[in-house]
């Protein structure tokens, strides 16, 4: 007589593997990317004419799969999940939601370069007007607050040059050595690539470095924890699952968790710095402007006026308008994921500690997931259906330091910071304003992820 648990596990694995296979050729960013030469052409024309990213351009980019056929396969899978696992099975509901996300992706890709693009983008990644989980503030408000912090004079005061000492080939060797010590059960490769627009990009079990880019020690530290520990690590943890293999692939529903967790790891390892954090918060402002009707040139000129370089201003505008319409009316809202995810992951950790449930925190690294999935996934772990993550960063595998850090941070709300700051500001006024050489204000740039 068949074992009911084994029967359920096999159904879950079969359905999960089907989703993994269907989504394999879907590459959202590849379907909306801009050629690298557009940047040079934009500046050659005096930065007065937006790049020629229109509907015809996007429709000329091959998807590598048939939209209608893939849509039909997803609908068939969705029906089978409900039939095989039941409409209310907890793990089945996550699988259903993930499948439905890919159906929305079909609509997003179909409407590239049209006004309908923004509706699908909002459905997948949200809007700057959205509120954070359990909070009254909108992403726009949080982004503005962070921009204010990272625009303070102190941010520039402590910045000092990080020379880009290593070309791409040298950087491959250095980063490979760093990751070999972390990924002890898998062969994670660092490769050169001339087919990516950014400086670096993570694949399933690899990280690609742009052959045209140069890197600093700080850049490589960021790549180690952001692309390596988080993006590659959670992919491998998800792929190692015996039944829930969908946890090894990333639909848009997991974007905020992934990008926010990556930014959080940069912060906890002290890899990040003000100019990089400002870039991430600036993206929220750019998306809000575009949602309110600004076009590519409006956004570009806003950041030029705010003190960003020409290249950085172009990069922010490019990320927001890729896939949409450069003359306004349709934007790509994925970059809200960094700020949203950072705050929501931080709040999750804080809440897990306060509620006496710190054992939930390592589940953040289980695979490609949404924070709301964790109670179900943890229950499945206790039932033996889900395996624990193989790769967990050191501060999350031994939670003692993290617990103390959050404990002290929580205690700070008892202090009247306005009164305290007033005391110290008065004291600082008697100190000569001399900037040490190591903290001299210089322009700093970071790797573009």
DSSP string, 332-395: --GGGHHHHHHHHHHHHHHHHHHTT-GGGGGGGGSSS--GGGHHHHHHHHHTTSSPPPS---HH
Q: How far apart are CA 280 and CA 276, in angstroms?
A: 7
Tens digits of per-residue pLDDT, 176-223? 999 999 999 999 999 998 877 678 888 889 999 999 899 999 999 999
DSSP three-state, residue 278: helix
Range 23-41 average pLDDT: 94
Q: What pLDDT does residue 442 have? A: 46
| Residue found under tokens 């396969």 | 73
Taking each helix axis from N to C terminus, what angle separates 274-291 and 139-150, rounded to the nearest 10 degrees? 140
Q: What pLDDT does residue 308 have? A: 87
By CB atoms closer than 10 A (0-12, 13-18, 19+), residue 435 is exposed
Going from the C-alpha of 365 to that of each of 76, 331, 361, 377, 402, the distances in angstroms are 30, 30, 8, 12, 15
Q: What pLDDT does residue 419 have? A: 86
Query: Cα torsion at 143, 146, 152, 155 (round to 10°)?
Result: -120
Going from the C-alpha of 361 to that of each of 256, 338, 366, 397, the distances in angstroms are 16, 19, 10, 9
If one compares 411 and 273, the residue with the highest pLDDT of the two is: 273
Query: Cα torsion at 274, 280, 286, 288 (round to 10°)?
Result: -110
Range 363-384 average pLDDT: 96
Q: What pLDDT does residue 435 have? A: 59
Long-range (24+ apart) CB contacts under 8 A made by 370-378 are 370/94, 370/253, 370/254, 370/256, 370/257, 371/133, 371/257, 371/344, 371/345, 373/94, 374/348, 376/90, 376/91, 376/93, 376/94, 377/91, 377/94, 377/244
Taking each helix axis from N to C terminus, what angle separates 4-23 and 67-85, rounded to the nearest 10 degrees? 170
Question: Which DSSP state fits 242?
Answer: S
**Which of 239-243, 294-298, 307-311 is predicted with the least confidence, judged by mean pLDDT?**
307-311
Is there a contact between 320 and 335 (Cβ–Cβ < 8 Å)?
A: yes
Report for 207-211, 212-216, 230-234, 274-278: range of highest mean pLDDT: 230-234
Share of residues in the chain with pLDDT > 70 (%): 93
Average pLDDT, the chain: 90
Q: What pLDDT does residue 204 have? A: 85
Largest CA distance in the chain: 84
Residue 427 reports pLDDT greater than 90: no
Collect all residues with Cβ–Cβ distance below 8 Å to 414 and sequence separation of at least 6: none
Q: What pLDDT does residue 447 have? A: 54
Range 405-422 average pLDDT: 79
Q: How far apart are CA 28 and CA 108, in angstroms?
A: 9
Residue 130 reports pLDDT greater than 80: yes
Residue 1 reports pLDDT greater than 60: no
By CB atoms closer than 10 A (0-12, 13-18, 19+), residue 413 is exposed
Q: What pLDDT does residue 448 have? A: 59
Residue 159 reports pLDDT greater than 70: no
Residue 273 reports pLDDT greater than 90: no
Range 406-432 average pLDDT: 80
Which residue from 67, 96, 32 is spatially nearest to 326, judged by alpha carbons? 32
If one compares 365 and 280, the residue with the highest pLDDT of the two is: 365
Residue 441 reports pLDDT greater than 50: no
Is there a contact between 95 and 85 (Cβ–Cβ < 8 Å)?
A: yes
By CB atoms closer than 10 A (0-12, 13-18, 19+), residue 79 is exposed
Q: pLDDT confidence of 434, banded at 50, 70, 90?
A: low
Q: How far apart are CA 368 and CA 346, in angstroms?
A: 17
Range 136-160 average pLDDT: 74
Range 42-53 average pLDDT: 96
Q: Which two tokens mark 77?
A: 């899978």
Tens digits of per-residue pLDDT, 55-107? 999 999 999 999 999 999 999 999 999 999 999 999 999 999 999 999 999 99
Q: Which two tokens mark 110?
A: 């179909």
Residue 357 reports pLDDT greater than 60: yes
Q: What pLDDT does residue 140 have? A: 84
Q: What pLDDT does residue 88 have? A: 93
């Amino acid at each position: 007589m068949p074992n009911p648990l084994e029967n359920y596990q096999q159904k879950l694995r079969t359905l999960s593997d089907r989703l993994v296979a269907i989504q394999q050729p879907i590459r959202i960013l590849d379907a909306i990317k801009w050629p690298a030469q557009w940047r040079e052409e934009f500046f050659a024309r005096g930065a007065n004419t937006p790049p020629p990213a229109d509907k015809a351009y996007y429709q000329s980019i091959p998807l590598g799969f048939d939209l209608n056929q893939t849509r039909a396969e997803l609908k068939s899978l969705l029906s089978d999940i409900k039939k095989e696992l039941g409409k209310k099975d907890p793990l089945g509901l996550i699988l259903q939601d993930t499948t439905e996300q890919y159906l929305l992706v079909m609509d997003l890709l179909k409407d590239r370069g049209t006004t309908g693009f923004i509706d699908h983008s909002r459905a997948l990644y949200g809007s700057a007007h959205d509120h954070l989980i359990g909070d009254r503030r909108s992403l726009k408000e949080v982004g503005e607050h962070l921009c204010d912090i990272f625009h303070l004079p102190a941010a520039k005061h402590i910045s000092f040059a990080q020379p880009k000492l290593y070309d791409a080939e040298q950087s491959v060797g250095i980063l490979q050595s760093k990751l070999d010590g972390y990924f002890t059960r898998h062969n994670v490769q660092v490769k050169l690539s001339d087919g990516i627009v950014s400086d670096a990009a993570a694949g399933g079990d690899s990280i690609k470095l742009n052959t045209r880019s140069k890197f600093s020690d700080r850049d490589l530290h960021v790549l180690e924890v952001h692309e390596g520990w988080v993006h590659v690590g959670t992919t491998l943890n998800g792929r190692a699952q015996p039944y829930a293999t969908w946890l090894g692939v990333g639909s848009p529903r997991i974007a905020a968790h992934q990008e926010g967790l990556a930014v959080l790891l940069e912060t906890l390892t002290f890899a990040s710095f003000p100019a990089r954090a400002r870039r991430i918060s600036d993206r929220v402002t750019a998306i809000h402007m575009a949602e309110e009707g600004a076009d590519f040139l409006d956004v570009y000129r806003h950041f030029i006026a705010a003190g960003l370089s020409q290249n950085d201003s172009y990069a922010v505008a490019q990320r927001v308008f890729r896939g949409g319409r450069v003359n306004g009316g349709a934007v790509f809202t994925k970059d809200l994921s960094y700020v949203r995810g950072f705050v929501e992951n931080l709040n999750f950790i804080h809440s897990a500690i306060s509620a006496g449930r710190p054992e939930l925190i390592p589940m953040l690294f289980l695979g490609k997931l949404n924070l709301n999935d964790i109670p179900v996934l943890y229950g499945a772990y206790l039932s033996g259906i889900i395996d624990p993550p193989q790769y967990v960063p050191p501060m999350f595998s031994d939670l003692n330091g993290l617990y103390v850090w959050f404990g002290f941070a929580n205690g700070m709300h008892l202090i009247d910071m306005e009164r305290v700051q007033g005391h110290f500001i008065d004291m600082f006024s008697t100190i000569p304003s001399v900037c040490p050489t190591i903290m001299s204000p210089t322009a700093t740039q970071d790797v573009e992820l």
